[in-house]
């Protein structure tokens, strides 16, 4: 069994990841780690994550006190907690799956550098279907990217903290790479004013409203026709299952910087 610590177990993703891990035949929960001063610190992880039963696993607020118990850490918390988790994972040589978004380019470079020391998997989106969509985007861009106008529309609930979403940024980076460019050089975020669309750019549009589930659509607009590639989620369980699959994969790998594509072998 792969001994696993969940960071942010009370969060939307953390709860589902904990529930799936608790039922797994490959992963074993050893601790949950929440932010300091939360009222559920010290309680049983099963109760905190709404399993409805005790599972004999504590929720603590200091990863350093429990990190030696684990083989792999799964972190879907906040960018502030995420950087501390990254530091401790490296100090203790623990495999880390991180799905937290909102990091700066400089912070993301620290995750890539961590791959030189530990098995490190960063994914803005751990859904198997989203990562298949990413592969389709690469194929479409290679075939028609230079002759079409590319626009990305992403939708999330009103509580989403970062815009554009980490998933849509990852999509844009894949597309930009296929075009031989950097996303930071060709991305246009929203539009106002006058003037024609600049050729070779990638347009971004972020929608935040109500409890809208995650939704991403990439448009390739040509003359007289357009191609749309979309992913729509109805709940978060597929993302959580994907994160657990990543943890199982990562526990068997040498140090390196991995992606969900490595897990899926696509």
User: Among all residues, which ones are annotated catalytic?
Assistant: 156, 160
Return the HEC string of the chain: CEEEEEECCCCHHHHHHHHHHHCCCCEEEEEEECCCCCCCCCCEHHHHCCCCCCCCCEEECCHHHCHHHCCEEEECCCHHHHHHHHHHHHHCCCEEEECCCCCCHHHHHHHHHHCCCCEEEECCCCCHHHHHHHHHHHHHHHHHHHHCEEEEEEEECCCCCCCCCHHHHHHHHHHHHHCCCCHHHHEEECCCCCCCCCCCCEEEEEEECCCCCCEEEEEEECCCCEEEEEEECCCCHHHHHHHHHHHHHHCCCCCEEECHHHHHCC
| Torsion angle in degrees (nearest 10) through CA of 69, 73, 74, 76 | 100
Residue 141's closest CA among 182, 169, 170, 177?
Answer: 177
Instruction: Tell me the CA end-to-end span of the chain in Å, nearest whole number.
Output: 26
CB atoms within 10 A of CB 36: 9
């Amino acid at each position: 069994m792969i001994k696993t610590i969940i960071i942010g177990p009370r969060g939307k993703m953390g709860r589902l990841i904990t529930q799936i891990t608790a039922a797994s035949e490959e992963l074993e929960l050893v601790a949950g780690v929440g932010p300091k001063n939360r009222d559920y610190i010290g309680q049983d992880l099963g109760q905190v994550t709404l399993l409805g039963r005790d599972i004999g696993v504590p929720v603590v607020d200091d990863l350093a006190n429990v990190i030696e118990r684990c083989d792999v850490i799964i972190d879907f918390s906040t960018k502030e907690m995420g950087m501390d988790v990254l530091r401790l994972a490296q100090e203790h040589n623990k495999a880390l799956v991180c799905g937290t978004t909102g990091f700066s380019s400089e912070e993301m470079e620290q995750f890539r550098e961590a791959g030189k020391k530990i098995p490190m998997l960063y994914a803005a989106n751990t859904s198997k279907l989203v990562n298949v969509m990413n592969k389709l985007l690469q194929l479409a861009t290679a075939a028609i990217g230079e002759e079409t106008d590319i626009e990305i529309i992403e939708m999330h609930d009103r509580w989403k903290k970062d815009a554009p979403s980490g998933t849509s940024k990852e999509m844009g980076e894949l597309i930009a790479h296929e075009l031989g460019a950097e996303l930071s050089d060709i991305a246009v975020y929203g539009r106002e004013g006058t003037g024609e669309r600049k050729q070779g750019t990638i347009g971004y549009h972020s929608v935040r409203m109500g409890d809208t589930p995650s939704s991403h659509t990439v448009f390739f607009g040509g003359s007289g026709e357009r191609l749309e590639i979309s992913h729509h989620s109805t709940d978060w369980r597929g993302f959580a299952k994907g994160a657990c699959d990543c943890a199982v994969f990562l526990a068997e790998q040498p140090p390196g910087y991995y992606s969900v594509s490595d897990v899926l072998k696509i």
